Structure 1
Amino acid sequence: MRRIDIEGYLTSAHPPLHDAEIRDLYAYPADPTVPWVRVNFVSSIDGAVTTDGTSGGLGTAADRQVFTALRELADVIVVGAATVRAENYGGAKPDAATRDRRIARGQAPVPPIAVVTASAHLDPDHRLLTDTAVPPLVVTGRNAPADRTSALTAAGATVIPVGDVTVPTAALLGALAERGLHRVLCEGGPTLFGQLLADDAVDELCLTTSPVLVAGGSGRIAHSPAAAPRPMRRAHVLADDDGTVLTRWVRDRPGRL
């Protein structure tokens, strides 16, 4: 065991990281041939995942900088419908320079949002469909009400039915892979993260610890019916002068890609 709060680590001894350096630190494996699932969350020091029902109050400048970089690097942003509703999601809106870098990497200029909702419970007038540069993907169950799926399709969404009454992880990732979306960024919520973790589909976690204490009844970053321990390797630890700590944890899987 070693201390890391010494010169050259969690101090201001090093100059601030530039955006290009952050992108290099968070780069996906080169040319993945199957979905690589990265999960990104922010929590308080005492483990709260939200304040007053949303994660916005936990955000810091450093967290936003990494959040932006992660979105730029992703082929697709996956999120559960409850989080879409709670956080009032809109579509990703990269600036012109970001779009150019994505195109240079062989990616679409704008990553789509893929909403996971077995029941297609998403308002066709939601901001995700009205305030976006590209149509969202709605991954839903085959038994979802036809009126809901028809309304979402009419509103511009690409509805992808998989499974029956649920959206199985393998079917979700398979649907993304069929569309060449291998660099997966999951932004929650905790139930979706718990499902991915229980199904052994999480390749890495990017976790920001916000320098606040929250208390209250907020939940944790992952929920599942049963525990699913997965050993992870620390890839890096970053820190900002305001106390924000950003970690990246990776699961070593020989032959994964």
Structure 2
Amino acid sequence: MRRLFPVTDETAARASGEAQKAPDAGSVGADREWSLDELAAAYAYPEPAPAPGATSAGPQPWLRANMVSTLDGAAQHDGRSQPISNATDMRIFGTLRALADVVMVGAETVRQEGYRPARARAEFAALREAAGQGPAPAIAVVTAGLDLDFSLPLFTAPEVPTLILTGAAAAPDRIAAAEKAGAHVLIAGDGVGVDPARAVRALADLGHTRLLTEGGPRLLGQLVAAGVLDELCLTVAPMLTAGAAQRIAGGPSVAVPHRFVLVSLLEEEGFLFSRYRRV
């Protein structure tokens, strides 16, 4: 893998043909396999900022999304993202999870992708301990109807209890079933659905400020429309699928497009790994 942006002195020299010898192993511009420590540094969360105009609300949460898309805009193939991913994309996927306090995911994605609880990884144990984090991120399922199989390992065998974000009008028997399975239910909406801003705040109130969402497209669209997404980590796969697959974000459109700025761009075997932040 090599860094395309931001441009370093070594990257510029290679591009202009001025480099007279192979770069050393520590050069980020070199086409080589990056270590997990380097990936963690490249995708580090910004330092938490204090809540504006308040001293008791705690630090501001930072919500990033991690998605993959083909050249023609498909976020899935045959209903799953795995066929358009690759090994390096999965290493970044694991790194982003290891840096997060919580992974937000929509109920439909839980059902389609066969979500399992995040696992503790020895490679990131020291990093998480230094950041005051638990052994693994919690999975937070965003669901209106709680139409979930609570016998799955996501609920019965997580290292950190799974969270469920739902609305106040959710069926009491489904909430009871979730809690019986060991999940922690958070109310983040006045009706049946979930208010994205309230969901983010509810997680932050539990001390979870490094937030990650892996979609799916419907949930990401809701987060975008609500204006709570701070960062997008997007893998562009060098593939064309055609068909009617969803884009990375669906649902309601925004009145004015939200502007993001490119922070980082990595490349390997035609796959582009981009990182954008909200302006």
Please, what TM-score do these two structures have when normalized by structure 2? 0.83
- Which residue does 1:194 correspond to in 2? 221
- Is 1:245 matched with 2:272? yes
1:98 to 121, 124, 145: 124
* Deviation larger for 128-137 or 187-196: 128-137
* 1:88/1:127 contact within 8 Å kept: no
Residue 182 of structure 1 aligns with an amino acid whose one-letter code is T
Residue 242 of structure 2 aligns with an amino acid whose one-letter code is A
The Cα of 1:62 is off from its aligned counterpart by: 1.3
Residue 257 of structure 2 aligns with an amino acid whose one-letter code is P
Task: Measure the CA separation in 2 of the matches of 1:131 and 1:55.
Answer: 24
The Cα of 1:224 is off from its aligned counterpart by: 2.4
Task: Measure the CA separation in 2 of the matches of 1:7 and 1:148.
Answer: 60
- Is 1:38 matched with 2:64? yes
- Is 1:80 matched with 2:77? no
- Which protein is bigger by CA-based radius of gyration? 2
Counterpart secondary structure, 2:89: helix
* Deviation larger for 94-103 or 204-213: 94-103
- Which residue does 1:166 correspond to in 2? 193
Q: How many residues align?
A: 248
Counterpart secondary structure, 1:235: strand
2:140 to 98, 104, 114: 114
Q: What's the C-alpha RMSD, in Å, of the aligned pairs? A: 2.1
Cα distance change on mapping 1:64 and 1:8 into 2, 3 Å: farther
* 1:135/1:157 contact within 8 Å kept: yes
Q: Which runs of 5+ in 2 are unaligned?
A: 1-6, 16-28, 50-58
* 1:119/1:143 contact within 8 Å kept: no
The Cα of 1:101 is off from its aligned counterpart by: 2.0
* Deviation larger for 219-228 or 41-50: 219-228
- Which residue does 1:255 correspond to in 2? none
Task: Measure the CA separation in 2 of the matches of 1:166 and 1:31.
Answer: 28
- Is 1:140 matched with 2:157? no
- Which residue does 1:211 correspond to in 2? 238
1:127 to 153, 169, 181: 153
Please, what TM-score do these two structures have when normalized by structure 1? 0.90
- Which residue does 2:55 correspond to in 1? none
- Write out the 4+ residue segments of structure 1 that deviate beyond 4 Å after TM superposition: 4-9
The Cα of 1:106 is off from its aligned counterpart by: 1.2
Task: Measure the CA separation in 1 of the matches of 2:112 and 2:125.
Answer: 28
Counterpart secondary structure, 2:173: helix
Aligned pairs for 1:224-239 (under 5 A) are 224-227=251-254, 228-239=256-267
Task: Measure the CA separation in 1 of the matches of 2:12 and 2:217.
Answer: 34
- Which residue does 1:222 correspond to in 2? 249
Residue 216 of structure 2 aligns with an amino acid whose one-letter code is G
State percent identity of aligned pairs.
42
Counterpart secondary structure, 2:45: coil
* Deviation larger for 14-23 or 135-144: 14-23
Counterpart secondary structure, 1:135: coil
The Cα of 1:132 is off from its aligned counterpart by: 2.2
The Cα of 1:7 is off from its aligned counterpart by: 6.9
* 2:68/2:81 contact within 8 Å kept: yes
